[in-house]
């Protein structure tokens, strides 16, 4: 690929993403939906201006580094005030692992026609909700706490788990990993190793940031943060593939709790960079979607995704929230909103390439079904999230609409204070 063509690819991608953001700001439509549509327009399903595979092996590197930034930002801003919210996140994550994995396997095999091995890889890939999608949606619709915290935390917990598990199942399918014992050891080592490296790097970065002299421009702090993050991610991927994802989340969590008076400005800059990464990644990965890969799936593929959306997810959330002080409105919304995001798309694209190179049947159908899942969940749930939240009364009031008493109360509450869960009727 010529340098001129490469520059054009990135120029078109970033411009399409920026245009989608502008349209979202003007129209009020969900930004993630418009980013997805922008990618379809400029890619293989539309004008054919962007072909992500032209990046070659650099595609995985670029996507990995940008995803690490997004996950680091998620961990940086993760807040789980109160034991109830933590229990909710842990229970939803555990139950979804136990329920969604086998359900996704059966649906992909029986409805979408994937082979058992490829169906298992699909189920792991689409296990987690995407914080890259959930976070912008929560912010845009002004979702009342604690639902936003729960949704974001669920994605940050399950997304690394799903990616690592999918990679190990892929290696098992290709013969690079032998037996379920090897899979279990690989899962624990990569998740545990990634978390440990993330905690250590996050602690060292926090201490370095604390010792730096105040910098009004925050330039040095930002450069140091990005340098440590990208070096950590690259080292993790070199030592233990896919361990960079849990490491990024863990490092973000540690740095987000650093004792620093200059934290707010740096955190805001990192958030803006994460938004830029999403603006670039969503159109780039959506450009890889081909109608030729989606159309053979037919109604079987659509039925598979609908089963995951309207049956599996609500059932898992319903079981997980038994005994917790959540009313029916909150349970309903948690059971509905589960869009898949960038990590899902990136893993699917890279895994499909490996399967095709190995001559495994069903690689194209796997990628097509994953992107169909992203299209349907982001499209349907992204467009309906705000109307549903408004109908259920789960939208937080505008800051300027708050009365004097409320404003006074909110002013005395820190970001780490427990947020009450609205009791349901009769509770």
pLDDT, tens only, 316-333: 999 988 888 888 898 999
Place of tokens 């293989």: 44
Q: Are 287 and 198 in contact (CB under 8 A)?
A: no
Confirm if 284 and 191 have CB atoms less than 8 A apart.
Answer: no
Q: How large a percentage of the chain has pLDDT more than 90?
A: 19
223 pLDDT higher than 60: yes
What are the beta bridge partners of residue 395? 143
The answer to whether residue 23 sits within a structural domain is yes
**What local confidence, expressed as pLDDT, does residue 311 receive?**
93
- Residue 347 in contact with residue 121, Cβ under 8 Å? no
User: What pLDDT is recorded for position 308?
Assistant: 93
Among the listed ranges 90-99, 175-184, 410-419, which one has the minimum average pLDDT value?
Answer: 410-419
The answer to whether residue 413 scores a pLDDT higher than 70 is no
Tell me the average pLDDT across 240-259.
Answer: 86
- Token readout for 244 is 């960079």
Integer CA distances (angstroms), 370 to 4, 123, 391, in order = 32, 9, 30
For residues 27 and 4, what is the distance between their CA atoms, to the nearest angstrom? 34
The pLDDT of residue 408: 35
Residue 400 forms part of a structural domain = no
Sign of CA dihedral 266, 269, 275, 276: negative
First to last CA, the chain: 63
Residue-range definition of the domain harbouring residue 360: 3-395
Domain-embedded: residue 424: no
Phi, psi of 242 (to 5 degrees): 80, -5
Mean pLDDT of the 113-136 span:
84
The per-residue pLDDT for 200 is 95
407 confidence band (pLDDT: 50, 70, 90): very low
The pLDDT, as a whole number, for residue 23 is 92
Q: Is the pTM of this model over 0.95?
A: no
Residue 278 included in any domain? yes
Q: Give the torsion through C-alpha atoms of 180, 183, 184, 186, to 10 deg.
A: 160
d(CA 80, CA 70): 19
In this structure, of 96-100, 216-220, 321-325, 328-332, the range with the lowest mean pLDDT score is 216-220
- Mean pLDDT to the nearest integer, 18-40: 87
Write down the mean pLDDT value for the chain: 81
Residue with tokens 């992909």: 108
Residue % of the chain over a pLDDT of 70 = 89
**Is the confidence at residue 107, as pLDDT, over 90?**
yes
Encode pLDDT of 350-385 as tens digits. Answer: 777 777 777 777 777 888 888 889 888 988 988 898
* Per-residue pLDDT, 425: 41
pLDDT at 419 over 60: no
Q: Is residue 236 part of a domain?
A: yes
Residue 315: pLDDT band (50, 70, 90) is very high
Q: What is the CATH number of the domain that holds 344?
A: 1.20.1530.20
**Domain membership flag for residue 417:** no
More confident residue, 38 or 211: 38
> 143: helix, coil or strand?
strand
Contacts of 396 (CB under 8 A, 6+ apart): 142, 143, 144, 145
Residue 425 maps to a domain: no
When divided into structural domains, the chain yields a total of 1
Domain-embedded: residue 418? no
Identify whether the C-beta of residue 71 lies closer than 8 Å to the C-beta of residue 29: no
pLDDT top residue among 347 and 47: 47
pLDDT at 412: 33
Q: CB 375: neighbour CB atoms within 10 A?
A: 19
């Amino acid at each position: 690929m010529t340098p001129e063509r490469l520059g054009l690819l990135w120029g078109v991608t970033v411009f399409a993403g920026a245009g989608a953001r502008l349209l979202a700001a003007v129209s009020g439509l969900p930004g993630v939906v418009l980013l997805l549509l922008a990618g379809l327009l400029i890619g293989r399903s539309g004008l054919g201006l962007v072909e992500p595979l032209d990046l070659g092996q650099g595609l995985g590197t670029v996507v990995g580094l940008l995803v690490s930034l997004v996950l680091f930002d998620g961990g940086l801003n993760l807040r789980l005030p109160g034991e109830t919210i933590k229990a909710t996140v842990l229970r939803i994550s555990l139950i979804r692992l136990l329920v969604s994995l086998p359900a996704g396997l059966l649906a992909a095999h029986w409805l979408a026609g994937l082979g058992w091995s490829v169906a298992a890889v699909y189920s792991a890939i689409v296990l987690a909700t995407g914080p890259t999608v959930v976070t912008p949606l929560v912010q845009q619709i002004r979702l009342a706490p604690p639902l936003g915290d729960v949704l974001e935390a669920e994605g940050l917990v399950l997304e690394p788990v799903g990616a690592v598990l999918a990679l190990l199942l892929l290696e098992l399918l290709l013969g690079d990993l032998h037996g379920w014992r090897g899979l279990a050891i690989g899962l624990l080592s990569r998740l545990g190793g990634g978390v440990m490296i993330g905690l250590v790097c996050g602690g060292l970065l926090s201490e370095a940031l604390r010792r730096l002299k105040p910098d009004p421009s925050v330039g040095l702090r930002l450069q140091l943060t990005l340098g440590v993050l990208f070096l950590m991610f690259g080292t993790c991927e070199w030592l233990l593939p896919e361990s960079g994802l849990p490491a990024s989340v863990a490092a973000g969590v540690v740095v987000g709790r650093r004792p620093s008076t200059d934290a707010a400005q740096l955190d805001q800059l990192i958030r803006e960079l994460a938004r830029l990464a999403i603006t670039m990644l969503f159109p780039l990965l959506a450009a890889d979607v081909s109608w030729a890969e989606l159309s053979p799936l037919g109604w079987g593929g659509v039925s598979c995704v609908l089963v995951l959306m309207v049956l599996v997810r609500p059932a898992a959330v319903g079981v997980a929230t038994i005994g917790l002080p959540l009313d029916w409105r909150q349970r309903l919304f948690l059971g509905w909103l589960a869009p898949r995001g960038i990590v899902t798309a990136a893993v699917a694209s890279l895994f499909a390439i490996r399967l095709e190179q190995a001559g495994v049947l069903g690689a194209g159908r796997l990628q097509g079904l994953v992107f169909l899942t992203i299209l349907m969940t982001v499209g349907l749930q992204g467009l309906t999230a705000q109307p549903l939240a408004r109908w259920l009364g789960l939208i937080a009031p505008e800051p300027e609409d708050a009365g004097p008493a409320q404003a006074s109360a909110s002013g005395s509450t820190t970001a780490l204070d427990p947020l009450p869960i609205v009791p349901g009727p009769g509770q």
